[in-house]
Amino acid sequence: MYKVDKKVLVTGCSGFIGFHLSNSLMEEGNQVIGIDSLNSAYDVKLKQKRLEKLNNNNNFTFFNNNLSREDSLNEIRNYDISTIYHMAARAGVRQSFLDPQSYIKDNTYATATISNFCKEMDIPEIILASTSSIYGDSGEKLMIEDKDEKLKPPSVYASTKLSGESLSKIILEDTNIKLIIARFFTVYGPYGRPDMSILRFIHWIVNEEKVKVFGNGEQQRSFTYIQDVVDALRSMSGLEKSFTFNVGSDITVSLNEVIKLIENFSGKNANIENLERAYKDPDVVRPNLGNIKKTIGWEPTTKIQDGIEKTVAWYKENESFLKELVYVNE
């Protein structure tokens, strides 16, 4: 049984993870205060579709605010908030090299803003979304949380997320506020981002377009189904002290294996176009889950086959809308 809160603040509520998290919180009677800037990091039509669904729930209140503005949280100060889930971010490794200023504003500055707000309002806990990208390429080694001093983020995106983590720790250091950092690995599922590999692959295969793969497709990734991620986030609330957790699957799968599964569940064959390998693209991304298993008893339960099947089925059910989205190479 999850903790039921009076009011929960979810930033990035119309993002992929924020949307599913908000739905889960409201299903159990929580009131969700949602903040999102609806930025154009990827096709905003999908964000608007998620928001439309959230707005159908009477337990949802929405504010269209950008956390990089100092006054962005003024309207929230009158709410008695018990937990902050800071899911807002600008994601995308390749795009971050093209527009570093936006990533610094949306990932680093915004995280400082919400952390300061948490401190000023004396909110008991903040659960902060981070990323496995901060680890870079660990080779065959498992990625472990307690080696921060050895981290060398390989991209602007990863650097801004790690900087956000560091700022939150410093801002909240001398308080009793619990800071829980969730380092997500590759999250997928219904309502996923159109700039991420699995939804792009499904779209291209179902519509018989070229499937663009960077490198030979043998890169191993920790694909983690969205419901498992939401379960992890819900289980992090109410801990007695601060933690940093990896949130992912310790069973890795190659991009080529994912494509084969999509072919199987869609009944279509992939027309693969192999492109030049992306800059600093790691061969293997696999988390050590010892900390999260020991502390909150979480591990993913959705097998990649089942998650892909559900995501393909969702795409087919919503194909007329999803075909109109812009699918970019991230």
Q: Is 327 a catalytic residue?
A: no
How far is the first Cα of the chain from the last one, in angstroms, to the nearest whole number? Answer: 37
pLDDT band at 153 (very low <50, low <70, confident <90, very high): confident
Q: What is the pLDDT of residues 86-106, one digit of tens each?
A: 999 988 887 888 889 999 999
Tell me the CA distances in angstroms from 272 to 204, 216, 269, 319, one per residue in order.
10, 10, 9, 21
Mean pLDDT value across residues 293-315: 98
Confidence at residue 39, expressed as pLDDT on a 0 to 100 scale: 87
State pTM to two decimals: 0.94
Instruction: Given the residues 157, 188, 315, 327, select the one marked as catalytic.
Output: 157
Torsions phi, psi for 307 (to 5 deg): -65, -45
Q: What is the pLDDT of residues 25-40, one digit of tens each?
A: 999 999 999 999 998 8
Domain ranges of the chain: 7-188+224-248+286-300
Q: What is the pLDDT of residues 186-220, one digit of tens each?
A: 999 999 999 899 999 999 999 999 999 989 999 99
Question: Under 8 Å CB-to-CB from 267, ≥6 apart: which residues?
Answer: none
Task: Examine the pLDDT at 171 and tell me if it is beyond 90.
Answer: yes
Fold of the 7-188+224-248+286-300 domain: Rossmann fold (3.40.50)
